[in-house]
């Protein structure tokens, strides 16, 4: 499965990290790409996301996960949105994507945009914009995100290979480095666990049979383990009925740096989370992010912008779908 719970993946070329406030372009992507062709594009997406956030603040976690899962598989091309049929499975059919949600919000934004600017705004850009807006609504940075992506023409469940929650730091980094990310950027992107939940299946072994030892993971805080044991119950359940626990035990719906602070006191939910604080290659990064919220928010925004430029389709590549759920 994957990190935003459970998670992410990427791949990429050279990308420059840029200022949050100064308009810029990356290749053919640029901030305010739709200013001429559909001036209301970004405000339409914001309006739809704000409406849903007002009644369900967990949409921030949903979009962070969707964004990550889309960009880590064939790049940021909205291939995760294609609905499967009886005859054709898609990325949504793959195990790591079975609990990805928020599709109906993307569809709503797309329908509104098609009514105003037909065949103009890509579904890939809607995911990127919706994620940016949801992060800001949850108290995170309000950053500029370049747009101009095109939608992909392939969605194959066999392409879905994402870093799982039980990987070591070095194993997880193989996924991120293959997509052009540094070790520090991996730690920053995993900071997306500042919001959202994980099903018990992704951390149950840590509660009583860690790595087949018959004992709990000694790196987990005992009080957290007791709490999670009560939530999860004695036996595994089917995914749809499997209980969930917050990834951030403190400020569960806010985009802040508390995720890192909890790792320092052994309250990371999943194995990969906690190992970030104990592995010699990442421990100092975790400590630094835990001590400075402003620094984390800036770096998180930069990393999300870079994530949004993983293997994007531009120019005449791909197409602009009329409906996000089908190749149209």
Q: Is 133 annotated as a binding residue?
A: no
Angle between helices 59-71 and 123-137 (to 10 degrees): 140
> What are the Cα distances from residue 251, in Å, to 195, 260, 287?
8, 12, 18
CB atoms within 10 A of CB 214: 8
Q: Is 91 annotated as a binding residue?
A: yes
CB 84 within 8 A of CB 93: yes
How far apart (Å, rounded) are the C-alpha atoms in residues 68 and 163? 11
Q: Is 75 annotated as a binding residue?
A: yes
Q: Is 312 annotated as a binding residue?
A: no
> Would you state the torsion angle of the CA atoms of residues 227, 229, 232, 236, taken in this order, to the nearest 10 degrees?
170
> What are the Cα distances from residue 126, in Å, to 37, 159, 165?
15, 22, 27
Q: Is 28 annotated as a binding residue?
A: no
Verify whether residue 199 is a known catalytic residue.
no
Which 8-state DSSP code applies to residue 115? H
Instruction: Give which of 119, 118, 136, 117 is closest to 46, Cα–Cα.
Output: 136
DSSP secondary structure letters along 121-179? S-HHHHHHHHHHHHHHHTTS------B--BB-S---GGG-----TT--HHHHHHHHHHT
Q: Is 79 annotated as a binding residue?
A: yes
> What are the Cα distances from residue 179, in Å, to 22, 64, 232, 253?
26, 17, 34, 28
29: left (phi over 0), alpha (psi -120 to 50) or beta: beta
Residue given tokens 């705004």 in the structure block: 121
How far apart (Å, rounded) are the C-alpha atoms in residues 210 and 109? 43
Classify residue 53 as exposed, middle or buried by CB count within 10 Å of its CB (0-12, 13-18, 19+): buried
Among residues 52, 69, 199, 206, the one annotated as catalytic is 69
Length of the chain measured in residues: 328
Q: Is 56 annotated as a binding residue?
A: no
Q: Is 151 annotated as a binding residue?
A: no
Residue numbers belonging to the annotated binding site for heme b: 193
Q: Which residues are catalytic, by number? A: 69
Residue numbers belonging to the annotated binding site: 70, 73, 75, 77, 79, 91, 163, 193-194, 248, 251, 256
């Amino acid at each position: 499965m994957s990190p935003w719970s459970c998670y992410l993946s990427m791949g990429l070329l050279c990308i420059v990290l840029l200022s949050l406030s100064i308009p810029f372009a990356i290749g053919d992507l640029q901030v305010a790409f739709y200013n001429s062709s559909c001036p209301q594009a970004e405000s339409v997406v914001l309006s739809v996301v704000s409406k849903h956030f007002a009644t369900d603040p967990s949409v921030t976690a949903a979009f962070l996960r969707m964004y990550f899962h889309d960009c880590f598989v064939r790049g940021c091309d909205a291939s995760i949105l294609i609905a499967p049929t009886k005859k054709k499975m898609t990325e949504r059919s793959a195990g790591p994507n079975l609990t990805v949600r928020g599709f109906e919000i993307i569809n709503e934004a797309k329908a509104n945009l098609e009514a105003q600017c037909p065949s103009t705004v890509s579904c890939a850009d809607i995911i990127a914009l919706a994620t940016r807006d949801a992060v800001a609504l949850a108290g995170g940075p309000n950053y500029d995100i370049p747009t101009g992506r095109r939608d992909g023409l392939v969605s194959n469940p066999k392409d879905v290979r994402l870093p799982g929650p039980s990987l070591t730091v070095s194993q997880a980094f193989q996924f991120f480095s293959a997509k052009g990310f540094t070790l520090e950027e991996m730690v920053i992107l995993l900071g997306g666990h500042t919001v959202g939940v994980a099903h018990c299946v992704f951390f149950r072994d840590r509660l009583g049979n860690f790595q087949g030892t018959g004992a709990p993971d000694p790196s987990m805080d005992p009080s957290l383990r007791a709490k999670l044991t009560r939530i999860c119950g004695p036996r595994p359940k089917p995914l749809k009925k499997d209980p969930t626990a917050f990834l951030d035990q403190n400020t569960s719906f806010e985009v802040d740096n508390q995720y890192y602070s909890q790792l320092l006191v052994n309250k990371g939910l999943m194995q990969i989370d906690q190992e970030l604080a104990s592995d010699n290659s990442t421990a100092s990064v975790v400590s630094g992010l835990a001590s400075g919220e402003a620094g984390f928010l800036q770096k998180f925004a930069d990393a999300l912008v870079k994530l949004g430029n993983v293997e994007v389709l531009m120019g005449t590549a791909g197409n602009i779908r009329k409906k996000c759920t089908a190749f149209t």
